Every structure is written in structure tokens, then in C-alpha cells.
């Protein structure tokens, strides 16, 4: 509780005691009136002054003004206790709202409490000193003791340990870290002492980026939020004008028809309208639900860049995947060398050399299988043709390393492979010398992940890949993926996604899931771009709308579930709050409802909606 809230709570308690006391004790008329008014001013003086200030600034639809008119009106009609009660409960409602919002702000920031407070460095005398992570320069050696958070991204230079990444990924299985491993800020060092050479400044480190993303997340507003803002914009004036009409028209009509105008009754009904006119419950519970949803999601390792994306994710009907790195591990291994017309070692050496400048996962696996350092002096004029392969001059011979398409392009006859996997053909000076078979492993949870997606209401799963048809079809049938498009160049993927976007209906959303490498354009083109395994990849964090911190495909279904729960609560709140208000307005107009009902419609609805909104935070069991 802050100072303001404490002060208000004391006022509320005193006013409540006075209010109940006056109900129980029978005082003489005069004393009762004076004490009632005293209670009223005690609880409402700030609202009254704000109302006056509002009038001076011509802000008539200000809730302070409305509340002041309603309560002063009630008191003028002689209903001292109702006037005071309305003010009292209004203040209780405001206090509760402010307390609940403050509390959930705190809860959510605690969930995301991954900000490291200090970094340990060694000073000239060899002693450990704690410094502000902001002051650590790139290349500094920092020391992380067991139990401490890694403050800055870097590479381990000494020590072995296991890391707990759960604050970042929601994944409880620890990771191993040893010399030359890249480690990411925000992880907790569990077992051994690590010396880490920093590779980034604190502000550029993963932990800062994530915090920045989560803190600015709900700035992109969802349709529901915009709807409520617009609704609130018209709701209050509409209710106030109908209150005015209710106070004037029926009495005049009755009077003209020769009946008793009954002014007091109609004015009273109009005043109850004013109490219901405050849109607070609606306006607070929608952003609060989204905020809690985003907070809960980030605790589960799903970072959402805005409430609009949470909304789109909830109505996702099509999920498009990239194969490599998403459904498969993206760790390729050379599993065979076939049709070799020269020594197999030589083929591997040439392939590794030609691909040594490429960052493609296939190239990495070739280099790994080769296992020796590459003499870059022997390689000249490397040209990488995206989607085809590489052409390079090695030892003054032209070497082509690539897929079927590259061979066709240069008119080289090649031998197809009967095994399933990625085939890398090699030709020297236009002559075919054999091919290398590389295969990738399907992720352990991939099949279950696809099944879960169907459970959460996804209509169709589609896989896009640059890989050959045989591999793509095999992976798709193993995983029960509905459709597969293979042998696509990076730009084809964008076209394919655009095609799919055109075919679907407006309300059904399409999500693209990729690993963030090479697929940034597709990520941004889809309704929802989901990057997975993005820990440490800046490009993915930039391009995606939703970031899955680890690379477990089960998280996709989990993210959709979180979004659905959040949206369900949002709609519950919208229907509940608007519904109750409208029913209370109708009841009051016909004189069935009274001020007490109006207070419930205002404060009660808000309390219930806020409590419901906070439920979104709990996503553990989804």
C-alpha cells in the first residue's frame, strides 16, 4: 500500500464506523442530519473539490462530477444515508481498484524479476568487487558464483557448471555450461564457479532486451481495448443524457396529462442513472486482463509483444511451420557419402571448404564432420546462391557444392539418392564426383505438439521447407502435419504464406512459427509471427510478435491456450460488466432498482471484474 492508499483506507474505515453507528443508534433528528453530513464530507471532500475543478475546466462528464451530482442530489431529496452510502462505496471501489492494480503490477514485475543487481569483477589486487552491470565493458571477465544470476551475455572462459534457465524459458531442466559455451544473462548459475568474458554490454544483453519487451508489451492495444475505450467515450454521455431525460420528460408528460408529476421520484431515478454511468469497471478490467495474461505468459517462457497479438493468437486456426529448427532439431549430421568417384575424405574436405563461409546449418554439419581447421588460403571467389548451394575456386579448380537444382542449373548429370535426407552434390570442374547425405532429427515433442494444436482448435497445420520433397513428406507424415510445401526458396515462403493468408477468412488467424534465422520476412508477414528457441537471437526477437524462449514445440499450443484463457476472461468481463449495467439501468428507469442496486452495478461489478481479470495470471496448469 502506498501513502495515498493508506490515508484513504483510514478515511474509509472512520466513515464506515460513523455510517454504521448512525444506523444503529437513534439520535435526535438534528444531530443525525449533522453527523450524516459530517460523514459525507469526510468521505467525499476530495471528490467534491475535484468536481468543482472539473466544472471550472468544463469537464462535465468527469466521474467526480457525476458522483457529486448524484450524492448531493440524493441528500437534497432528503436521503442522507443513501447519499453518504453511494459516496462511501464509490470510494471503497476506487480504493480496491487502486490496491488491486498496484498489487498485480507488483506481482507481474516479481514474476519477471530477472534483472541482475550486480556483476562480480576482480580488481587490481585480485579481490572480487561488485559493480553495476551497466558499467561493465565488453570483453571484461566477470565471475559468477553458484547461486548467482549471470548478469551479462558472454562466453565461458573458465569453469564448469549447470545453469537454471527457468526464469527465461519456463523450462526446469538445467543446461550444462563449460569452457567456450555461450551463456545468456538471466540464467542462474547452479553448481560451479564460472569466469565469463562478456560479449555484450548490459543494455544489449538478453535480460535487458526481454525486460524492455515485456515492460512495453501492452502498449500495442488490442481490439477489445480499443472497443472499450470507444464504448466508454460514448457510454457516459449517453447515460447522463438519458438521466436528464428521465428527470424531466416523464414528470412533464404526467403534468400535461393532468396527473401528479411526482418530481422527487423521477429525479431520484435519474440520480441512480448517474451512479451507474461511470465506466470504470469496464475500462480497468480489460487492460488488466491482458496485462496479467502477458505477465503469466512471460513466466511460462512465452514473450508476447502486445495485447493485440494475444488476441490474434487466441483465434489462430492455421499454423504454418518452418521445418528446420522448428519441427526438427536443426542439428544435421553427415550420415553417408555415396557414389564417390574420388576419395571420400577428399569429397568431405572440398565440401567443407566450399561451405566454410556459410552460416547455414548444413554447412556447419559439413565442417563438423570434416573436423579439421580449414585452410582458407586455398579457397577463392566463393559465391553462395541462396536455395541452391555454393560455387568456389579451390586449389584453382571450380568446385560446385549444392542440391539437385544447382546441378541442373550447371547442366551436370548427378545421381539421386535413395535415402531420406538432405543431399549435397559435389562437382569438380563440371564433373560429378559424388554426394553427401545429411539428415536431421525430429524434435522429441514435435508429434505431441501437432496433436495438441489440434486439441486447441487449430484447423490446419502446414509445413514449409526449402528441403527436398522426400525428406519433407517423411517428416510431415511422421508428425501428422496436414499439408507440406517443399523445395521452397526463402522468397517462396513469403509467397506461400501470402497465398494462405488470402484463402482464409478474415476472422481466422494464421500463425507462422520459425526459428528466426532467415525467416524474418515471413514472421512479419503472418498475422502472428512466432519465433522459437530465440534465446540469444536478436533478429528473431526483433522480427517476431511472440517469442518462445526455448525451442520446445509444445510451447506453441501452450501459448495459444494462454491466449484463449485471457480472451475468455476479457469477454466474460465485457459481457458481465455491460450486461449488469444495462439491466440495472432498465430496473432503475422503471423504479424497481434503487441507489443500492446502482452502487452494486458500479462498485460490485468492478470488484468482481478485477478479481476475474487477475485470474489470467495463473497459467501454470494450462
Q: Which of 336, 340, 489, 335 is nearest to 414 (CA)?
A: 340
| Cβ atoms 401, 354 nearer than 8 A | yes
Q: Which of 11, 200, 209, 221 forms a contact with other proteins (CB under 8 A)?
A: 221
Q: Which of 100, 136, 184, 283 forms a contact with other proteins (CB under 8 A)?
A: 283
Our finding on whether 98 is near other proteins (CB under 8 A) is yes
Written as one string, the DSSP assignment of 358-421 is: --SHHHHHHHHHH-S---GGGEEEEEEETTTEEEEEETTEEEEEE-HHHHHHTT------SSSS
Which of residues 450 and 603 has its CB atom nearest to other proteins in the complex? Answer: 603
Q: Distance (Å, rounded) from C-alpha 401 to C-alpha 382? A: 11
Q: Which of 322, 545, 550, 602 is catalytic?
A: 322
By CB under 8 A, what part of segment 104-123 binds other proteins? 105
Which of residues 226 and 491 has its CB atom nearest to other proteins in the complex? Answer: 226
Our finding on whether 305 is near other proteins (CB under 8 A) is no
Interface pattern 27-66 for other proteins (x via CB under 8 A): -----------------------x--xx--x-x--xx---
The number of residues that bind other proteins (CB under 8 A) is: 27
- Please identify, among the stretches 284-292, 415-423, 471-479, 588-596, the one whose residues bind other proteins according to the rule CB under 8 A: 284-292
Shortest reach from residue 53's CB to other proteins, in Å: 5
Q: Which of 15, 84, 86, 94 forms a contact with other proteins (CB under 8 A)?
A: 94
Phi-psi region of 150 (alpha: psi -120 to 50; beta: other; left: phi over 0): beta
Q: What are the percentages of helix, strand and coil residues in the chain, rounded to 5?
A: 55, 20, 25
Shortest reach from residue 283's CB to other proteins, in Å: 4
Residues in the chain: 622
Q: Distance (Å, rounded) from C-alpha 243 to C-alpha 274? A: 7
Question: For helices 3-24 and 80-111, what crossing angle results, to 10°?
Answer: 150
Q: Which of 123, 172, 180, 219 forms a contact with other proteins (CB under 8 A)?
A: 219
Q: Which of 287, 361, 434, 593 forms a contact with other proteins (CB under 8 A)?
A: 287
The cell numbers describing 409, all together, are: 542449373
Whether 322 sits among the annotated catalytic residues: the reply is: yes
Which of residues 282 and 347 has its CB atom nearest to other proteins in the complex? Answer: 282
Q: Distance (Å, rounded) from C-alpha 22 to C-alpha 358? A: 83
Shortest reach from residue 157's CB to other proteins, in Å: 37
Bridging pattern class, strands 389-394 and 397-402: antiparallel
Written as one string, the DSSP assignment of 432-459 is: EEEEEEEEEEEPTTHHHHHHHHHHTT--
Which of residues 288 and 468 has its CB atom nearest to other proteins in the complex? Answer: 288
The phi and psi torsions of 531 (rounded to 5 degrees) equal -105, 135
Q: Which of 363, 384, 385, 360 is nearest to 374 (CA)?
A: 363
Which of residues 199 and 229 has its CB atom nearest to other proteins in the complex? Answer: 229
Which of residues 89 and 291 has its CB atom nearest to other proteins in the complex? Answer: 291
Interface pattern 225-244 for other proteins (x via CB under 8 A): ----x--x------------
Which of residues 166 and 229 has its CB atom nearest to other proteins in the complex? Answer: 229
Our finding on whether 91 is near other proteins (CB under 8 A) is no
Catalytic residues: 322
Which residues would be at the binding site for other proteins (CB under 8 A)?
A: 50, 53-54, 57, 59, 62-63, 94, 97-98, 101, 105, 215-216, 218-219, 221, 229, 232, 278-280, 283-284, 287-288, 291
Amino acid at each position: 500500500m502506498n501513502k495515498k492508499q493508506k490515508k484513504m483506507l483510514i478515511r474509509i474505515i472512520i466513515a464506515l464506523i460513523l455510517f454504521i453507528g448512525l444506523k444503529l443508534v437513534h439520535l435526535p433528528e438534528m444531530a443525525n442530519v449533522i453527523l450524516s453530513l459530517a460523514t459525507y464530507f469526510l468521505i467525499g471532500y476530495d471528490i467534491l473539490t475535484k468536481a468543482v475543478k472539473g466544472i471550472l475546466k468544463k469537464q462535465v462528464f468527469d466521474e467526480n462530477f457525476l458522483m457529486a451530482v448524484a450524492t448531493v442530489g440524493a441528500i437534497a431529496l432528503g436521503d442522507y444515508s443513501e447519499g453518504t452510502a453511494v459516496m462511501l462505496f464509490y470510494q471503497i471501489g476506487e480504493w480496491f481498484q487502486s490496491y488491486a492494480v498496484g498489487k498485480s503490477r507488483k506481482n507481474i514485475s516479481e514474476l519477471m524479476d530477472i534483472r541482475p543487481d550486480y556483476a562480480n569483477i576482480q580488481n587490481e589486487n585480485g579481490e572480487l568487487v561488485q559493480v553495476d552491470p551497466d558499467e561493465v565493458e565488453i570483453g571484461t571477465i566477470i565471475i559468477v558464483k553458484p547461486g548467482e544470476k549471470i548478469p551479462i551475455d558472454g562466453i565461458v572462459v573458465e569453469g564448469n557448471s549447470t545453469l537454471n534457465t527457468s526464469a527465461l524459458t519456463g523450462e526446469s531442466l538445467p543446461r550444462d555450461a563449460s569452457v567456450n559455451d555461450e551463456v545468456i544473462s538471466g540464467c542462474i548459475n547452479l553448481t560451479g564457479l564460472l569466469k565469463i568474458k562478456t560479449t555484450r554490454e548490459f543494455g544489449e544483453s538478453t535480460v535487458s532486451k526481454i525486460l524492455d519487451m515485456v515492460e512495453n508489451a501492452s502498449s500495442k492495444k488490442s481490439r477489445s481495448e480499443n472497443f472499450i475505450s470507444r464504448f466508454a467515450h460514448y457510454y457516459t454521455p449517453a447515460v447522463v443524457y438519458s438521466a436528464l431525460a428521465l428527470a424531466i420528460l416523464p414528470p412533464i408528460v404526467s403534468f400535461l396529462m393532468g396527473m401528479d408529476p411526482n418530481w422527487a421520484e423521477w429525479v431520484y431515478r435519474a440520480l441512480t442513472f448517474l451512479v451507474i454511468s461511470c465506466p470504470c469497471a469496464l475500462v480497468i478490467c480489460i487492460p488488466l486482463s491482458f496485462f496479467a495474461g502477458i505477465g503469466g505468459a512471460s513466466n511460462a517462457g512465452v514473450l508476447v509483444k502486445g495485447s493485440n497479438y494475444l488476441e490474434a493468437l487466441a483465434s489462430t486456426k492455421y499454423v504454418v511451420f518452418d521445418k528446420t529448427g522448428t519441427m526438427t532439431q536443426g542439428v544435421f549430421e553427415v550420415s553417408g557419402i555415396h557414389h564417390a568417384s574420388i576419395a571420400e575424405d577428399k569429397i568431405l574436405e572440398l565440401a567443407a571448404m566450399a561451405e566454410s563461409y556459410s552460416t547455414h546449418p548444413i554447412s556447419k554439419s559439413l565442417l563438423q564432420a570434416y573436423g579439421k581447421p580449414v585452410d582458407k588460403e586455398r579457397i577463392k571467389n566463393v559465391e553462395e546462391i541462396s536455395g541452391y548451394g555454393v560455387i568456389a575456386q579451390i586449389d584453382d579448380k571450380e568446385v560446385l557444392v549444392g542440391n539437385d537444382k544447382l546441378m541442373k542449373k550447371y547442366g551436370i548429370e548427378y545421381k539421386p539418392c535413395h535415402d531420406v535426407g538432405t543431399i549435397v552434390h559435389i562437382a569438380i570442374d563440371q564433373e560429378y564426383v559424388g554426394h553427401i547425405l545429411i539428415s536431421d532429427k525430429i524434435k522429441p515433442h514435435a508429434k505431441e505438439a501437432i496433436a495438441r494444436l489440434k486439441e486447441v482448435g487449430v484447423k490446419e497445420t502446414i509445413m514449409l521447407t526449402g528441403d527436398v520433397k522426400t525428406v519433407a513428406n517423411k517428416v510431415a507424415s511422421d508428425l501428422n502435419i496436414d499439408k507440406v510445401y517443399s523445395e521452397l526458396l526463402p522468397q517462396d515462403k513469403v509467397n506461400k504464406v501470402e497465398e494462405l493468408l488470402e484463402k482464409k477468412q478474415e476472422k481466422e488467424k494464421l500463425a507462422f512459427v520459425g526459428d528466426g534465422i532467415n525467416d524474418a520476412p515471413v514472421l512479419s508477414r503472418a498475422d502472428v509471427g512466432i519465433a522459437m528457441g530465440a534465446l540469444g537471437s536478436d533478429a528473431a526477437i526483433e522480427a517476431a510478435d511472440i517469442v518462445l524462449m526455448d525451442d520446445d514445440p509444445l510451447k506453441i499450443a501452450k501459448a495459444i491456450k494462454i491466449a484463449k484463457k485471457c480472451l475468455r476472461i476479457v469477454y466474460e468481463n465485457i459481457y458481465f460488466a455491460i450486461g449488469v449495467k444495462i439491466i440495472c439501468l432498465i430496473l432503475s428507469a422503471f423504479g424497481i432498482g434503487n441507489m443500492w442496486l446502482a452502487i452494486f452495478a458500479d462498485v460490485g461489478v468492478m470488484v468482481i471484474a478485477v478479481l476475474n481479470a487477475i485470474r489470467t495470471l495463473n497459467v501454470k496448469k494450462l
